[in-house]
Amino acid sequence: MSDIEFGKQLNVTETSIPGLVVFDLPVHGDSRGWFKENWQREKMAAVGLPDFGPVQNNVSFNDAVGTTRGIHAEPWDKWVSVATGRIFGAWVDLREGPSFGAVFTVELDPSKAIFVPRGVGNSYQTLEPDTAYTYLVNDHWSSDATYSFLNLADETAAIEWPIALSEAEVSAKDLAHPRLSDVEPVAPRKILVVGAGGQLGTALRAELDGLEHVDWATRSDLDLASDDLVAARRWRDYDTIINAAAYTAVDAAESAAGRVDAWAANASGPAALARIAAANGITLVHVSSDYVFDGSSDRAYREDDALCPLGVYGQTKAAGDIAVATAPRHYIVRTSWVIGEGNNFVRTMASLAERGIDPKVVDDQRGRLTFASQIARFIRHLLDTRPDYGVYNLTSEGDVVTWADIARRVFELTGHDPVRVTGVSTEDYFAAAKAPVAPRPRNSVLDLTRARESGFTAESGDSLLQEYLAP
């Protein structure tokens, strides 16, 4: 048995491969043997081990010196440690990107462990008889998973094996793996956009254009109410789900049929995605609304203000927010007065101006516009920079306005007289309505401090409006 260094402090060493990290483990021993905490989530996460959510523990026992396995790159993360004996480990980065082909080697005994991120090829050669090493993985083995392999004797990697491969115990399968020039790099975990056919989905297509690892799903592609949702995809292949789907017919949600549809799309759907995300280590991005508040505050709403929705639409969006927050990795983007492709308030006002119709527009609701293109840009910012998980308010910057103010500005920007717009109260505007009308928050102003602190710069609402209406 090799000499084990007892009494080391838990310590982390970065390697030349991004994300591949070596850990020194405290091992306590005496004449009877030794003991160690092989994996301790709280302590190890505190010093830098990703909270990778292992679901399976495997043990590899090797009775002969020189037993050599690899080089295998699996589609999951691994925590590798030695139970008894000693191994020489070699890792080669087989992921797409600038570090493809990078090599790192180290000897491991029971006092060392290593975290191997998804897509990094790993290989081991035993240096003592009766060597056993264990690895925790964060996915169950599956024949449907996609693997990459590299030949142990690859000349580019040029691994200096302590025991020559010609003298080592190696399987015929491992000897037949391709050279580095023939290896297909491991692609990043994918992004799934749910609700790809809507106005935000359209904006996300423009923002994420050119990224090959994005999947797009409409309701016909992915039924969130299905009992088979867990089996609908190989979810461990996904890093992020962006939920761009929503029921947004605010007034129709007050009807019997609309209430059912609103709860299904805005609450039950996000809850199903949150369960999938939590079970598979996925980041869930969800878009919320100012309607989760009653609008009675005399200041801008912050992310931590208590939810207090007025109508069915707001209640369903609040329920969706609560469900999404159960996913450990979540971003809730809270917006107001969203403008995107298709029919919307701005397009309607521009059409009325052109047709010579002088509208009456509500002037007692305050807020800021949020353009779908800006939401898409902010979502990409969150995924690129990964600030703290949680809720982030997002609207355009600039003056707080009313709907009537926006209508007058649309008239002005399209070359029409803004005085043609008459401001009225919410009560007067809906006085003649025959169908149910949803209550509206009078104050929809959202505090943008947290988004700014994340490093995102929102554009002014007026400049975005000008751009939106440009011919």
Annotated catalytic residues are: 72, 135
Residues 6+ apart with CB under 8 A from 104: 15, 16, 17, 20, 90, 91
CB 217, CB 194: distance < 8 Å: yes
Can you tell me the distance from the alpha carbon of 46 to that of 379, in angstroms, rounded to the nearest whole number? 28
What does the DSSP assignment read for 255-274? SHHHHHHHHIIIIIHHHHHH
Rounded Cα–Cα distance for residues 108 and 103 (Å): 16
Three-state DSSP at 4 gives: coil
Residue carrying structure tokens 């990964």: 386
How would you classify the pairing of strands 338-339 and 370-371?
A: parallel
Of 340, 368, 360, nearest to 425 by C-alpha is 360
Residue 190 burial by Cβ neighbours in a 10 Å radius (0-12, 13-18, 19+): middle
Reference 180, options 253, 119, 93, 251; nearest CA is: 93
Q: Is 59 exposed, middle or buried (0-12, 13-18, 19+ CB in 10 A)?
A: exposed
Distances (CA, A) of 175 to 50, 155, 184: 32, 13, 17
Indicate the burial class of 108 (C-beta count within 10 angstroms; 0-12, 13-18, 19 or more).
buried
- How many angstroms from the chain centroid is the CA of residue 316? 22
**Residue length, the chain?**
471
Q: How far is CA 439 from CA 312, 344, 426, in A?
A: 9, 19, 9
Q: What are phi and psi of 254, to 5 degrees?
A: -80, -10
Spatial separation of the C-alpha atoms in residues 312 and 247, rounded to whole Å: 11
Helix, strand counts (H, E) of the chain: 13, 25
H/E element, 310: none
